[in-house]
Amino acid sequence: MHSAVTALEPAAGADWTVLAGGLEWDCWETMEHMADALFGYALQLGPSKPPLDHWVHLAWQRDRPAAPPSAFRVEREAGAGALLEAVEAAGAVLVAMVRTVAPDVRAFHSYGVSDPAGFAAMGIVEALVHVDDVARGLGIEWAPPAGPCARALARLFPEVEVEVADDPWVALRWATGRGELPGRPGLRQFEQWHSAPLGD
């Protein structure tokens, strides 16, 4: 998480109202969505009896119709540095929660009831693809290490088989509807990932 967020620090003074990659959200909204997802995943695992049929209830709102709904907000006047700090903090909360709860805990996600490892993988995907979206919007070159990409693919997209010689980052971008994958149909329409524990 830290390396992904720090990749955007050189652009802290840029215009974060530009669209993020191919999204309808601007760069600021995309990072708020990412923080919201990371914090929200941590909250799902927090109660003594995690909910199995609903999200922990928060007041979600959006500033404009095309923006993502979000309960996690950062004051724009504080600047992009404050936004990046908040995103990193939300990621740290998820990491702490995943390390704290028992691995057999289950909690609701709209793509299927998941476990701590699943929420960790979802957090990784949120971070990787949305930092990439924002980096593309801001004109920053960025690519994550292969390890987290391969692990997230194996957990959330088990149907995407990646040969050792292939680039798991290219495959993860394809799996989330963000690029081409050699030998596969054109741009994939992302619908959802596999949240449920693979052994269940």
- What is the pLDDT at residue 198? 84
Q: Tokens in use for 146? A: 């292969």
- What is the pLDDT at residue 42? 98
- What is the pLDDT at residue 140? 93
CATH number at residue 41: 1.20.120
Within-domain flag for 129: yes
- What is the pLDDT at residue 1? 65
- Domain range holding 84? 2-175
Average pLDDT over residues 84-93: 96
Q: Where are the alpha helices (DSSP H) in the chain?
A: 2-6, 27-45, 80-100, 116-138, 146-156, 168-175
CB–CB of 20/136 below 8 Å?
yes
Nearest residue to 48 via CA among 110, 102, 120: 102
Within-domain flag for 64: yes
Taking 90 as the threshold, does the pLDDT of residue 181 lie above it? no
Within-domain flag for 53: yes
Q: CA 30, CA 42: separation in Å to the nearest integer?
A: 19
Taking 80 as the threshold, does the pLDDT of residue 59 lie above it? yes
Taking 60 as the threshold, does the pLDDT of residue 165 lie above it? no
Taking 80 as the threshold, does the pLDDT of residue 2 lie above it? no
Average pLDDT value for the chain = 92
Specify the pTM: 0.93
Within-domain flag for 182: no
Within-domain flag for 180: no
Domain count, the chain: 1
Taking 80 as the threshold, does the pLDDT of residue 166 lie above it? no
Taking 80 as the threshold, does the pLDDT of residue 3 lie above it? no
Q: Please give the DSSP secondary-structure letter assigned to residue 61.
A: B
Share of the chain above pLDDT 70, in %: 95
Within-domain flag for 194: no
